[in-house]
Structure 1
Amino acid sequence: MYDGSGRRSPARDELCRRLAEGRARAGLDLTQLAHQSNLRRTTVSKALSSSGGVPSADTVAALARALRLSVGELLQLQRKAAEESGAPSAHASGPGRSIGQWEPHELEVHPAGLGKTVSGGGVRTLPGYVPRRHDQALAAAVRDASGGRSKIVFLVGSSSTGKTRACWEAVQPLAVKGWRLWHPFDPTRAQAALEELQQVRPRTVVWLNEAQHYLGDPAVGELVAAAVHRLLSDEQRGPVLVLGTLWPEYAHQYTALPTPGGHDPHSRARELLAGHTLTVPDTFDTSALTAAAALAENGDGLLADALTRTRDHGRVAQDLAGAPELLRRYEQSTPPARALLEAAMDARRLGVRLHLRHAFLTDAAAGYLSEHDYDQLTDHWAEAAYAELAQPVHGKQAPLRRTTPRPPQHPPTPTTSANNAAPPAGPVFRLADYLEQHGRTTRRHLCPPASFWHAAHTHLTHPDDLHKLTEAAEDRHRLQWAHHLRHRAADHGSTQALHTLAVMQEEAGDREGAEALARQAADHGSPRALLRLAGMRERAGDREEAEALARQAADHGSPRALLRLAGMRERAGDREGAEAFARQAADHGDIDALRRLAEMREEAGDREGAEAFARQAADCGSTHALYSLAEMRERAGDREGAEVLVREAADCGSTHALYSLAEMREQAGDREGAEALVREAADHGDTDALLIVAVMQEEAGDREGAEALARQATSHGFTAALTYLAGMREQSGARRDAEALYWEAADCGSTHALYHLARMREETGDRDGAEALVRQAAQHGDTDALRRLAEMRERAGDGEGADVLAREAVGHGDTDVLLRLARMREEAGDREGADVLAREAVGHGDTDVLLRLARMREEAGDREGAEVLVRQAAHHGSTDAIRRLAEMREEAGDREGAEALVRQAADHGDTDALFFMPGTWQLLTRLWPHGLDPDGTPTPPWQ
């Protein structure tokens, strides 16, 4: 078959053949097929014609469904045929290419099964797709993007749970609308993204699979996050759709708030992810397994095969991606191969980057072998072990495969970041994702052997790798190795190691050595060490030296240093100098400098100067400066001045300032003044204020006015207003009015209202109606409704009914319900029932339930029963349980048992947490002042 350009299209031939055979089996003529597929007869005729062009994806999908054929396979043929047709893209400019020209495995969708290919097309098949709850939200984002609004979504889930496949399925509606897809990858993911994001054009999907390679890049990750934010904010370049995937540990790392005064390495990534993540569960729930079974019954052999192994645990996606075979290969490998895998697992879980050096792994592996296995090694053991691990399992996955890092393609810079470091000498290897995560789970409580640390110190040269291993050694109280690795990291340009060494030198009294190290860190791109030293010098009373160091940090590009200098100048009485530094900081994006100066002037009694700085900050976009100043005036008793500033903040767009000032008036007893301000905030559209005024009117008896305001808040997207108002009606005895308002809120999308309606049904004895409503709420994402109804059944004495609802809630991902019911049974004296639920919660990964029950038993005086539960939690890997058990042993006078547990906590890398346990940290440092060796024996004194 020819595509009209004179070239034969094997994929189009195969597509036409399958559609024709399907029509023949169904016994349908063209008119009947058009009716069943909701397509025009002409469209169907062209799709089945040997001379027709490539039909659209929508047409192919509709025909496949009508003929009960595999939608996924036919769509892949359609995409391949479109690529073979050589049709020009509607958007020739900008990075990426038409979505239809991509093959899903090019975008890192895991190969499934044995990699069967579609006849004639060379396209590897994918199993049928089973939509799950996260797909609904993802589809909504795609619809918004298709409608002209730029959107961003990051799917967060463990390895091989279907995140990338979900993204691929979600963008298919955009393929038929001519959208492009861009996967930044070359020369490195982060560099490609940073260099080309500004070239992205409208109607482009930006594909950030494994987003830790972009957002977590130590050199440019924050710049990439900022560039993505600019793209989404630029209306001239929209609409665009940014899709990314992350493992949970990376999502937690990037969204965790920094410690007060501490370094904040992921502030831009945190802002980018806020409110834009969707969780992809590890397992298929009951409804997803049912849907997968239906596809299997209709001929999907890949799913049918996977379901034979996964019905009990629901890990279908991992099975399809080859995880069981990878795990089998690990467990059944020869001792040398297993040693290499475990060394690789430990390296990755302790922070070494993706590509692992051959020399490092080979030397590290020795310590993972028993004496017997070590004695059996031949001269060529390593070569044989690497060859064994390179054999693929499903698709192209292998337990440990050799890879080639891309060489640097940019001029060198003064920093020694990951992007600019030279590629490692000799072969490098990559551990399979599933085995990496398996190692993080199964080996998380083990300290690597001495050969690992020695090999790292000998062969690793990248500063980030060495710094991460330094921290890992220190966390495990392996102090001697931490010392040597820190110095090696500093020698290779690790700014973190240089900074730490500078602080240690300063604390030891070597100011000159500390400053030399700090300057060296600054030369490598980190002025933080200079700023830290400046703070030390200022606290020591050496203001002149402190200011000199802060100036050096500012010269290296630190806005925080400018703010520190502004504060120093202000405290020295040099207001003009302070203002100059604050303005410089603001010019570098640190508006807080102006706000802080405003506060300092206010504290010094210079109100006019304070207002001037606050207004400057507001002009730069920080209305919080005006509000902060208003709070100070209010506390000082200047209500009129406070109100002027708050209204000015409101005029700048901060209506919440009026509401906050109203709260202050309310607390001061001025209810009338508070109400006036709340009404003013409501007039500005503040939905919180609208609800407060609605409540005020309801309390005053004006129900009609209260409902009007609640509906006004609902029109602004605040459906809780109607639910809140309904609750007030219910409390006053107007149940019929309350029910009407709950239904109105439910119609506006409030799942919380559905729960309240279910509760009302439950109270009247209509249990079936109540369950139907909470299940409806659960289907819309509110699993709390199931939990709350389960608790109601438990309190009513219906333990069986409570268990049914609890397990349904667990199926929706809410394991907390098991803990709550367990506590209720514990309080009711049903310890056996509580233990059953606790064990079930542990089976779902929640060991905290055992600790909480243990606390309840201890408070009730049953110390022995509490310790049994704590031991169970420790057995399941809870480091909190290990720490608590050590504390209990210490309290009971069992010093030897406490010591063993403290050593176990150290092996887990949990010594930081021990610091907060009375007596345990002192026990650690008293027992092993020089640290521990990798095998857990005390380290002798060392220099």
Structure 2
Amino acid sequence: MEIAGDSLLDEVCGRKPAAVDSDWLSKALAYVTTPCNGIPGILTPITTSGPRNQRTRRGPGASGIPAGRPAPSLQGPRYLLADYLDQHGRHHRAGTIPPIDFWTAAAHHAHPTDLTELGDAAWNRGLYRDAAQLHKHATTHGNPRAAVTLIGHLHVLHPTDHRPAQWAAAHAALDDPGAVAWLLNGLRRAGADEQITALLARDPAAHASLDNPHAVAWLLNELREAGAHEQITALLARDPAAHASLDNPHAVTRLLKELREAGAHEQVTALAERATAHAALDNPSDVAELLKELRGAGAHKQITALLARDPAAHASLNNPYAVVWLLHVLWEAGAHEQVTALLARDPAAHASLNNPPDVTELLQALREADAHEQITALTERATAHAALGNPYAIAELLRDAGAHEQITALLACAGHAALDNPGGVAELLKELRKAGAHEQITALLARDPAAHASLDNMGGVAKLLKELREAEAHEQITALAERATAHAALDSRGEVAWLLQVLRRAGAHKPVTALTERLPAAGHFDRFIELKGNQERFRLGREPDGSAAPSWTWNDMD
């Protein structure tokens, strides 16, 4: 904190004033932590302790920390910033990249659980060297995602240097099978064959926890990809089928598949019997996936046992897509009585209407089942819901509408559609255009959706800009483009790229320039250098002041 504090004094004052006492930080902390009139101070000291609700490491080297060395602890006190200042800072300093001293202090003093996220933030803003340092320290503490990120990033910057991969292979924790699988995948993609051998020599199969079936399945898959047959044999010898948790049928299904690939037929049978006897039946998607995998394994006895538990009677009906999937799998399995029982529970009356495409899927499944009364009931429910102003719902129902009366009712709803969801309004404009409903399009545009559209979803904004261009609503395009480039949250790289593409096609050159300048501080530095065409200049990243980073290698890491 002292290092970061000195840096901030330099930033605010240009230099640290000579009159500042040597113990300025302790005095400042005492001042800002003192309550006033019963109100907590600007900073509130928080009690720190070791991580809770975590398994104990099993033996030397399993965690990546040598035996006899204590687990990492916090360095210095920690404080919680007052909510109102936290919100103010996030809003007003979101476009500010902290100075070098901040990143240096973070690398050496941040809590180990924060190092990976800080490293990601540094990398996304072009501070590649600081990111590498943070990810290296996080890797030292056994964080698998940091290890994979470190390998991937430095392989791009220094493709012939395998020392980052060696560091990761030596320090990775071995008790989390998913983490080991992730690391094996990253090493394989980097072509680090020697480091894969070094990691396998640490015997991850002997250390891996077996209770998470998804993680064990992933590890089996990566071991197979690496040709590590001895490790597969060792892992199977520990009988993961007997230890796998059954809480997540999707994960159980994944493990069944990998056991089948490994030829562990006895374990497939054992796990299938456990799953069919004890798996939860309330999630129709999970039941459908389990049935599908059992069919693939030829486990007819277990399929019969699962159907005997009457999943049709227990399945939740609120998710229309999940119900459709279960209906299809039951049909394919020839479980016609279960199909009839599921339909008899009237999914049309219980289906959530919040996701219109899923409602359309259920309508199609009901048509295939000749459930005419439920089709009528669901259509009426969906139309009434659309009348409440959901533009997505109106658009989806227009796409699927057949009866003239229904189309007329939906067109009437279009004039009352809410305008805050830009993606929904875009879909509605698109369907109205297809239906030739020019009056409704004119009426909708007259309500000025560009001024009311929420800017939280860049993908939705891009969709709306595209549809406004189709409607030749040029003034609204300009207005929405200016709002988006100045105020929109730039959270998703894909959505930002799409928005820039739509703006360029619309000829909105000033908004494109303004949005591009916001990209580095928003965490899209890679997109920024692509657009500017200066990838080579910033090949090793940048400094916080925007200048190109000087040459650096693994040798420059602490």
TM-score (norm 1): 0.40
1:627 aligned partner: 291
Aligned twin of 1:366: 9
Q: Secondary structure, in 3 states, of the residue corresponding to 1:446?
A: coil
Aligned with 1:446 (options 91, 96, 100): 96
Give matches, 1:674-685, under 5 Å.
677-682=335-340, 685=341
Distance, in Å, in 1 between the alignment partners of 2:471 and 2:332 is 42
User: Do residues 522 (structure 1) and 133 (structure 2) align?
Assistant: no
Q: How does 1:155-304 map to 2 (within 5 A)?
A: none
The structure-2 alpha-carbon separation of the partners of 1:795 and 1:389, relative to structure 1 and needing over 3 Å to count, comes to farther
Q: Does 1:877 align with 2:531?
A: no
Q: Does structure 2 conserve the Cα–Cα contact (< 8 Å) formed by 1:550 and 1:562? A: no
Deviation at 1:905, TM superposition (A): 1.0
| AA of the residue aligned to 2:467 | M
Residues 38-117 of structure 1 correspond to what in structure 2 (within 5 A)?
A: none
Give the secondary structure class of the aligned counterpart of 2:545.
Answer: coil
Shift in CA distance, 521/836, structure 1 to aligned 2, threshold 3 Å: same
1:581 corresponds to 2:236:
yes
CA displacement 1:860-899 (0-9 Å, x = unmatched): 5778964653232111124267645654687799999978
Aligned in 2, Cα 1:512/1:679: closer, same or farther, shift over 3 Å?
A: same
Query: Match for residue 75 of structure 2?
Result: 424
Q: Helix, strand or coil: the match of 1:907?
A: coil
* 8 Å CA contact retained: 2:126, 2:525: yes
Aligned counterpart in structure 1 of residue 87 of structure 2, from 426, 429, 437: 437
**1:464 corresponding residue in structure 2:** 113
SS in 2 for 1:430: strand
2:20 is matched with 379
Is 1:841 matched up with 2:453?
yes
Contact 2:259/2:267 (<8 A) preserved? yes
Deviation at 1:480, TM superposition (A): 2.4
- Contact 1:364/1:451 (<8 A) preserved: yes
Aligned-partner Cα distance in 1 for 2:457–2:202: 50
* Cα distance in 1 for residues equivalent to 2:20 and 2:443: 60
AA partner of residue 260 (structure 2): A
1:441: Cα distance to partner? 3.6
Aligned pair partner of 2:40 in 390, 397, 401 = 397
Shift of 1:476: 0.9
Taking a change above 3 Å as real, the CA distance of residues 586 and 431 of structure 1, as seen in their structure-2 partners, is same
| Structure 2 residues without counterparts, runs of 5 or longer | 246-251, 280-286, 316-324, 353-358, 399-406, 554-558
How many angstroms apart in 2 are the aligned matches of 1:653 and 1:562? 28
**Residues 420/484 of structure 1: CA separation in 2 closer, same or farther (3 Å cut):** closer
1:934 alignment partner in structure 2: 544
Give the length in aligned residue pairs. 473
* Secondary structure of 1:842 counterpart: coil
Q: Which residue of the partner structure matches residue 124 of structure 2?
A: 475
The alpha-carbon distance between structure 1 residues 543 and 651, as it changes in their structure 2 partners (threshold 3 A), is farther
Secondary structure class of the residue paired with 2:132: helix
> Which of the pair has more CA radius of gyration?
1
Q: Which residue of 2 aligns with 1:332?
A: none
The answer to whether structure 1 residue 650 and structure 2 residue 264 are counterparts is no
Match of 1:597 in 2: 259
Aligned mates of 2:507, 2:16 — CA distance in 1: 44
In structure 1, give the amino acid aligned to 2:102. F
Q: 2:270 aligns with which of 591, 601, 616?
A: 616
Aligned to 2:402: none
Rounded to whole Å, the distance in 2 between the matches of 1:836 and 1:882 is: 23
**Alpha-carbon distance in structure 1 between the residues aligned to 2:217 and 2:330:** 36
Question: For the Cα contact (< 8 Å) 1:518–1:530, is it kept in 2?
Answer: no
CA distance in 1, matches of 2:468, 2:97: 33
Partner of 1:920: 530
> 8 Å contact 1:582–1:594 — kept in the other structure?
no
| Cα shift readout 1:121-157 (whole Å, capped 9, x = no counterpart) | xxxxxxxxxxxxxxxxxxxxxxxxxxxxxxxxxxxxx
Residues 822, 837 of structure 1: 8 Å contact kept: no
Corresponding residue number in structure 1 for 2:468: 857
Contact 2:383 2:410 in 1 (8 A): no
How many Å separate the matches in 2 of 1:573 and 1:407?
A: 39
Deviation (angstroms), 1:521: 2.4
Gaps in structure 1 of 5+ consecutive residues: 1-356, 602-608, 634-640, 666-673, 692-708, 732-736, 743-749, 760-770
Whole-angstrom CA distance in 2 between matches of 1:547 and 1:375? 49
**C-alpha displacement at 1:397, in angstroms?**
3.5
- For residues 153-194 of structure 1, give each alpha carbon's deviation from its aligned partner in whole angstroms, at most 9, with x where no partner exists: xxxxxxxxxxxxxxxxxxxxxxxxxxxxxxxxxxxxxxxxxx
Residue 908 of structure 1 deviates from its aligned partner by: 0.4
8 A contact 1:858–1:866 mirrored in 2: yes
Aligned to 2:319: none
Asked whether the equivalents of residues 553 and 561 of structure 1 are also in contact (C-alpha less than 8 Å), the reply is: no
**What amino acid maps onto 1:401 in structure 2?**
L
How far did residue 652 of structure 1 move? 5.5
Q: Give me the CA root mean square deviation.
A: 5.8
- Describe how 1:478-489 pairs up with structure 2 within 5 A: 478-489=127-138
Change (3 A) 1:830 1:585: same
Structure 1 residue 437, shift from structure 2 partner: 3.1
Secondary structure of 1:925's match? coil
SS of the residue 2:43 aligns to: strand
Task: Provide the rounded CA distance (Å) in 2 between the counterparts of 1:487 and 1:937.
Answer: 24
Distance 1:388 1:821, change over 3 A: farther
| CA deviations over 1:30-58 (Å, ceiling 9, x no partner) | xxxxxxxxxxxxxxxxxxxxxxxxxxxxx
State the shift of 1:522 in Å: 2.5
Instruction: Give the 3 Å change call, closer, same or farther, for CA 538–615 of structure 1 in structure 2.
Output: same
CA distance change for structure 1 residues 931 and 753 in 2, over 3 Å: closer, same or farther?
same
Maintained 8 Å contact 1:499/1:529? no
- Whether 1:830 aligns to 2:442 is yes
Point out which structure has higher relative CO (alpha carbons under 8 A, 6+ apart).
2
How far 1:755 sits from its partner (Å)? 6.5
In 1, distance between residues paired with 2:16 and 2:227? Answer: 71
Q: Is the 8 A contact 2:458 2:496 kept in 1?
A: no
